[in-house]
Amino acid sequence: MLEPIPDLVFDARAHRYSYKGEWLAHSISSVAQPLTPEEKERIWAYKDGPDGWEIRGNTIHEALERHLLGKGVVAQDKWWEWLGPLLDDPLWQGCEILAVEHSVCSASKSLGGSFDALIRSEKGSTFLIDLKTTDSANKAKKRKPATAQLGGYLACLIDHYPELTVDRCLTVVSAPGEVVIKTDMPDECLAAWSDAWTKHEAKQMLLGF
Roughly what angle, to the nearest 10 degrees, separates helices 147-160 and 186-206? 100
**Which pLDDT score, from 0 to 100, does residue 23 have?**
97
Three-point CA angle 24, 25, 28, nearest 5°: 85
For residue 8, which amino acid is it? L
**Which pLDDT score, from 0 to 100, does residue 209 have?**
61
CB-based contact 160:200 (threshold 8 Å)? no
Separation of CA 95 from chain center: 19
Query: pLDDT below 70 — which residues of the chain?
Result: 208-209
Q: What digits encode the pLDDT tens for the residues 91-126?
A: 999 999 999 999 999 999 999 999 999 999 999 999
**Cβ contacts of 132 within 8 Å, gap of 6 or more:** 143, 146, 171, 172, 173, 174
Mention the CATH class of domain 27-206: alpha beta
Query: Considering only CA atoms, which of 114, 12, 35, 138 is closest in space to residue 44?
Result: 35
Three-point CA angle 139, 182, 134, nearest 5°: 25
**Which pLDDT score, from 0 to 100, does residue 206 have?**
79
SS3 per residue for the chain = CCCCCCCEEEECCCCEEEECCEECCEEHHHHHCCCCHHHHHHHHCCCCCCCCHHHHHHHHHHHHHHHHCCCCCCCCHHHHHHHHHHHCCHHHCCCEEEEEEEEEEECCCCEEEEEEEEEECCCCCEEEEEEEECCCHHHHHHCCCCHHHHHHHHHHHHHHCCCCCCCEEEEEEEECCEEEEEEECHHHHHHHHHHHHHHHHHHHHHCCC
What pTM does this model have? 0.94
For residue 33, which amino acid is it? Q
Q: What digits encode the pLDDT tens for the residues 132-152?
A: 999 999 999 999 999 999 999
